[in-house]
Amino acid sequence: MKKRLLSLILLLCLLLSACSEAGTVPDEGSHTADPTSAEENAPVETDPPIDTADHVPEMTFDKEMHFLLPDVSWLTRDIITDEVKGERVNDAQNALKLEMESRFGTTLSQTFTGDIWSTAYITRLVKADDDSFDVCYSLDLYAPGYIIGDVVTPYTDVPYIDLSRVYWDQSILKCMTVNGTPYFAFGAYDLSYYDFTHSIVFNKDMIDAYGLENPYALVKNGAWNIDKFTAMAKVVISDLDGDGKMTRAADAWGFMSEPKQVLPCFWISAGEFSIAKDANDLPYLNITGNDRFFTIFDKVYAIMWDDGVWCCDQKNINHWPETAKMLSESRVLFIDEIFYRLNELRDVEVDFGIIPYPMFDDTQAEYYSRVEAGARIGMIPITNKHPEYAGALLEAMSSYGYNNLIPEYYEVALKRRTSRDSESSEMLDLIFETRRYDLGDTWWCNELRDGLFKSMFGDNNRNLASEMAKQEKIISKTLDKVVDKLSG
């Protein structure tokens, strides 16, 4: 027994000596492994890297590839450029063109048309069986007409296009399918749907001068809601020239925006859709009977008109230069801007920041940022004799754009040159991640946003129930044409 005990003591001493040499002698009284220590030392699991490369096989096109585009140079950028100009976004678009030409042994060209305010210019080509253009583009508010007219090939029927990939905008794609069919999609090669994203620009000098809360902190803390927006905007309203009248030219305002943009920016940021989709992915009018929509509608009117927050003296003005002027003179606290227009603020001397539109109230879980009508939709016309070339090209362009063009547009052109601080850069990330696309503000913009709400808001007409009673049958009929077409 003694020999056995002595052997155990010697064995224990040897083990302790080995641990000491390794520098890992356990603490006194420690007899078991610490499970938390093992967890801390375990390798950290990370998500696998996102595959951003396309999977289009090697191929050579036996033809040139031609794009037909609406001439909207005053609203957004072109898709490709033919020359290097020393401007990083332009040059990245030129590099995209050269890469595609080299990869597929082809030449890319784009033709512009001024016939942009209907479906006529593309429909005529299809009816004439004219396959001059491989990909045709239109303003998105004419999308329903192309579906009804059997003009466009669904993206799911186009070879090589994989809409599940990250370089096809997934958040907006959900809004653009009808009956589960994606007739259109936004790929990262086209900047128009980035350019048409809305944000709020705030005057930092006025925030400091009036001792207002930091908008960045409010956003980060989830406290940036419409009540905060209103309280801050009301503080700065002032009849600066003392003439007893509030005018755009001389006085200070809380908020500046085109009349037609006010309501949709706020109902979308509140998480509502004027046109929603049912369980079968079919669109329906989502206003009548929607108490929350009416609540948002009434509150926006009360803030803008009754509280006098919005600059209502806007007749016969050139909106964007006037807005930049008011911001530079510190006569407006908040302004509405799409990203394309942010470039116009680069020379504004006043310090400004960029934030998303506010949530409606504290019950809302996240911010939402509006993409308005005017973005281009690309379509493969049914007359295209080589849809496989068009599919391969758009898939490859989207992947290349995601990896090369968007970083230049986003990180350089927006983050480093337009936004003036690191916090604005964080806000840009948040805005792009939370984009929403309301079909009543885009595809059926002519019927709803511009056909109904634009004049209502500009005239301070709050009779939504009455106006909807007049217009509902007409609007629903236009929706039913698409629903009937796609639901059989």
pLDDT band for position 23 (cuts 50, 70, 90):
very low
CA 486 to chain centre: 27
Cα–Cα distance between 264 and 260 in angstroms, integer? Answer: 8
Mean pLDDT for all residues in the chain: 90
User: Is the four-CA dihedral 39, 43, 45, 46 of positive or negative sign?
Assistant: positive
What 8-state DSSP symbol labels residue 434? T
Where are the strands (E) in 312-406, listed by range?
Answer: 332-338, 352-355, 369-370, 376-381
Q: Which residue has the higher pLDDT, 130 or 25?
A: 130
Mean pLDDT of 245-264: 96
| Closest residue by Cα to residue 299 from 447, 464, 470 | 464
What pLDDT, in 10s, does the model give residues 418-445? 777 888 889 999 999 999 999 999 999 9
The more confident residue out of 227 and 483 is: 227
pLDDT at 31: 39
Residues 6 or more apart from 161 whose CB is under 8 A from it? 155, 391, 394, 395
Q: List, in order of start, the domains of the chain with CATH numbers.
A: 65-193+374-416 (3.40.190.10), 198-369+446-453 (3.40.190.10)
Neighbours of 379 (CB within 10 A): 26
Element spanning 202, H or E: strand 198-203
Q: Which residues, including other chains, have CB under 8 Å from residue 251's CB and lie 6 or more apart? A: 237, 238, 239, 240, 241, 331
**pLDDT tens digits along 366-382:** 999 999 999 999 999 99
The Cα–Cα gap between 136 and 67 comes to 6
Supply the DSSP string of 155-172, one letter for each residue. GGGSTT--TTSTTB-HHH
Q: How many CB atoms lie within 10 A of CB 438?
A: 26
The whole-angstrom separation of Cα 304 and Cα 460 is 10
Both tokens of residue 11? 């064995």
In sequence order, the β-bridge partners of residue 359 are 225
Q: For residues 335 and 320, what is the distance between their CA atoms, to the nearest angstrom?
A: 10
Convert the pLDDT of each residue in 187-246 to its tens digit: 999 999 999 999 999 999 999 999 999 999 999 999 999 999 999 999 999 999 999 999
Residue 488: pLDDT band (50, 70, 90) is low
The whole-number pLDDT of residue 224 equals 98
26: pLDDT strictly greater than 50: no
Q: Which structure tokens are listed for 96?
A: 């995209």
**Predicted pLDDT of residue 33:** 44
The identity of residue 73, as a single letter, is: S
pLDDT tens track for 206-215: 999 999 999 9
CA distances from 424 to 200, 351, 354, 373 (A): 11, 12, 5, 25
Average pLDDT over residues 130-146: 96
Percentage of the chain exceeding pLDDT 90: 80
Tokens 């809360």: give the residue.
213
In terms of residues, how long is the chain?
488
Q: Which residue has the higher pLDDT, 483 or 287?
A: 287
Whole-number Å distance between alpha carbons of 260 and 282: 26
Under 8 Å between Cβ of 153 and 379: yes
Percentage of the chain with pLDDT > 70? 90
pLDDT single digits (tens) 89-102: 999 999 999 999 99
Q: Give per-residue pLDDT as tens, 34-51.
A: 444 444 555 566 677 889
Whole-number Å distance between alpha carbons of 340 and 360: 26
Residues 6+ apart with CB under 8 A from 12: none
pLDDT tens, position by position, 305-349: 999 999 999 877 888 889 999 999 999 999 999 999 887 787 788
Spatial separation of the C-alpha atoms in residues 437 and 448, rounded to whole Å: 14
Burial class (CB in 10 A: 0-12, 13-18, 19+), 209: exposed
- What H or E segment, with its residue span, contains residue 284? strand 283-285
Give the other-Cβ count within 10 Å of 262's Cβ: 21
Pairing of the two strands 332-338 and 253-256: parallel
349 contacts: CB under 8 Å, gap ≥ 6:
328
Q: 0.85 cut: is pTM over it?
A: yes
Distances, alpha carbon 466 to alpha carbons 263, 288, 469, in Å: 17, 10, 5
Give pLDDT tens digits for 164-181. Answer: 999 999 989 999 999 999
